[in-house]
């Protein structure tokens, strides 16, 4: 580990060896590349200018899930430490693959995770070669002596991943599935409701009308950052999943620093917050990446009511698409398109250490990567938490 706080193997990767003679994408395979494993927010931030320029070249500015500051904020959670693998060719940054490391008491466990539930929040690189870069990044991580396993969800077909990364085995597991999380918006709110089934209309319009009549709720379409922080901290103990207060303060800093971010909320007339949503808008697309609902009002379907307000407001702004970052709830998922293939994969080193971690994690932690990607497992589509 260097004095700057990063692990830098700076190794030359022989692409022909890595890809084992793969004949497709020959241009990509030409020449050696160097990889650099970078651990910690400060170390990643020291490469910020290069990463932002790469995002611009790859036309990924709209997807803020791979913007480092936004990635740090989303992963300001217990027992996580952000990391990245930087891949260069001829000294130019060609790809940046983002991960977080699982930790306990601030100590890294050597188990890394990349990608959200829909296979995004993962890689900055030319789209056609992203699976290649993910594989290079995985190889770079596993070349470190203390790293024993890498779990990834990537937006790509399972056959493509196996073609590039090699055949499945006990230590290399692949599970393919599909996701829907992009909702085309109609030109009017009434037209949007009319395009949906009766059950969805009842959940959106019916529950909204009941709540407005029975509880005198107020919808606030644009919260100031201070109001947003107030709402998040008030809902902090009343919503799921549970997060630490630092997570909300990190989101507050994004709301203050980035003009494309927004937040909106729903409260009772006498003050208490019931629900809030945050995200960002870019090029007629609304990205929603956080919703919090007071779980004491489950019968009132706060999540659906807030969705109804959100849809009406964004359609009024002439937005064309709603992108539910990391996955949509079942209520709206059926209307999202297109259906996109994703692959969950887990690659571990051969040896007793990996087997020991699998034995411990699968026994004490339900839903662990070992449980989800055990041989024969089926991965369920990503889903937002409803409360």
Predicted pLDDT at 237: 92
**Residue 122's CATH number:** 3.40.630
Residue 263 DSSP SS3: strand
Per the domain annotation, does 259 fall within a domain? Answer: yes
- Whether 221 and 127 map to the same domain: the answer is no
For residue 385 the two structure tokens come to 């938490």
Identify whether the C-beta of residue 110 lies closer than 8 Å to the C-beta of residue 37. no
Predicted pLDDT at 365: 57
- Whether 221 and 358 map to the same domain: the answer is no
Indicate the number of domains in the chain: 2
- Whether 113 and 15 map to the same domain: the answer is yes
- Whether 19 and 124 map to the same domain: the answer is yes
**Residue 314's CATH number:** 3.40.630.30
In this structure, is the dihedral angle defined by the CA atoms of residues 235, 241, 245 and 248, taken in order, positive or negative?
negative
- Whether 67 and 204 map to the same domain: the answer is no
- Whether 23 and 167 map to the same domain: the answer is yes
Predicted pLDDT at 270: 78
The C-alpha angle 111, 117, 119, rounded to 5 degrees, equals: 85
* Domain-ending residue, one of 307, 333, 359: 333
Per the domain annotation, does 6 fall within a domain? Answer: no
- Whether 169 and 195 map to the same domain: the answer is no
Per the domain annotation, does 4 fall within a domain? Answer: no
Question: How far apart, in whole angstroms, are the C-alpha atoms of residue 72 and residue 353?
Answer: 29
- Whether 173 and 195 map to the same domain: the answer is no
Q: What residues form DSSP beta bridges with 6?
A: none
For residue 328 the two structure tokens come to 């949509």
- Whether 141 and 191 map to the same domain: the answer is no
pTM: 0.86
Residue that has been written with the tokens 């919808």 in this structure:
219
Per the domain annotation, does 231 fall within a domain? Answer: yes
Per the domain annotation, does 100 fall within a domain? Answer: yes
Per the domain annotation, does 67 fall within a domain? Answer: yes
Predicted pLDDT at 358: 61
**Bond preceding residue 308 cis, omega within 30 of 0:** no
Per the domain annotation, does 284 fall within a domain? Answer: yes
- Whether 72 and 150 map to the same domain: the answer is yes
Name the stretches of the chain with pLDDT < 70. 1-31, 351-387
- Whether 172 and 191 map to the same domain: the answer is no
Residue 268's φ and ψ, nearest 5 degrees, are -75, 155
Predicted pLDDT at 57: 97
Predicted pLDDT at 170: 87
- Whether 327 and 345 map to the same domain: the answer is no
Predicted pLDDT at 17: 35
Look up the domain containing 328 and give its range: 182-333
Predicted pLDDT at 193: 96
Per the domain annotation, does 149 fall within a domain? Answer: yes
């Amino acid at each position: 580990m260097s004095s700057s706080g990063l692990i830098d193997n700076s190794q030359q990767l022989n692409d022909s060896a890595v890809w084992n003679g793969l004949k497709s994408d020959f241009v990509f395979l030409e020449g050696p590349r160097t990889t650099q494993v970078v651990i910690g927010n400060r170390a990643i931030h020291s490469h910020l200018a290069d990463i932002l320029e790469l995002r611009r070249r790859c036309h990924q500015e709209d997807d803020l899930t791979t913007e480092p500051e936004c990635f740090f904020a989303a992963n300001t959670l217990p027992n996580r430490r952000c990391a990245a693998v930087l891949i260069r060719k001829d000294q130019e940054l060609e790809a940046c693959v983002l991960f977080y490391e699982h930790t306990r008491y601030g100590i890294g466990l050597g188990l890394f995770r990349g990608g959200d539930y829909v296979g995004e929040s993962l890689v900055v690189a030319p789209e056609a070669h992203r699976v290649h870069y993910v594989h290079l990044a995985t190889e770079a991580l596993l070349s470190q002596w203390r790293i024993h396993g890498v779990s990834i969800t990537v937006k790509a077909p399972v056959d493509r991943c196996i073609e590039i990364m090699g055949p499945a085995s006990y230590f290399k597991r692949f599970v393919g599935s599909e996701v829907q999380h992009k909702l085309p918006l109609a030109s009017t709110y009434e037209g949007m409701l009319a395009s949906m089934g009766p059950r969805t209309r009842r959940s959106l319009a019916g529950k909204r009308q009941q709540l407005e009549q029975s509880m005198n709720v107020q919808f606030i379409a644009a919260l100031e950052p201070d109001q947003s922080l107030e709402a998040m901290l008030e809902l902090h103990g009343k919503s799921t999943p549970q997060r630490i207060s630092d997570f909300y303060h990190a989101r507050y800093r994004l709301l203050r620093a980035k003009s494309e971010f927004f937040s909106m909320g729903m409260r009772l007339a006498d003050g208490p917050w019931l629900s809030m949503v945050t995200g960002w808008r870019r090029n007629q697309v609304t990205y929603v990446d956080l919703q919090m609902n007071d779980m004491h009002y489950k019968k009132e379907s706060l999540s659906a009511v807030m969705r109804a307000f959100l849809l009406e407001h964004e359609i009024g702004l002439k937005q064309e698409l709603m992108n539910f970052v990391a996955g949509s709830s079942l209520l709206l998922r059926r209307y999202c398109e297109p259906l996109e293939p994703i692959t969950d994969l887990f690659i571990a080193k051969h040896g007793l250490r990996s087997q020991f971690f699998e034995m411990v994690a699968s026994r004490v932690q339900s839903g662990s990567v070992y449980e989800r990607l055990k041989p024969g497992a089926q991965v369920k589509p990503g889903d937002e938490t409803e409360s």
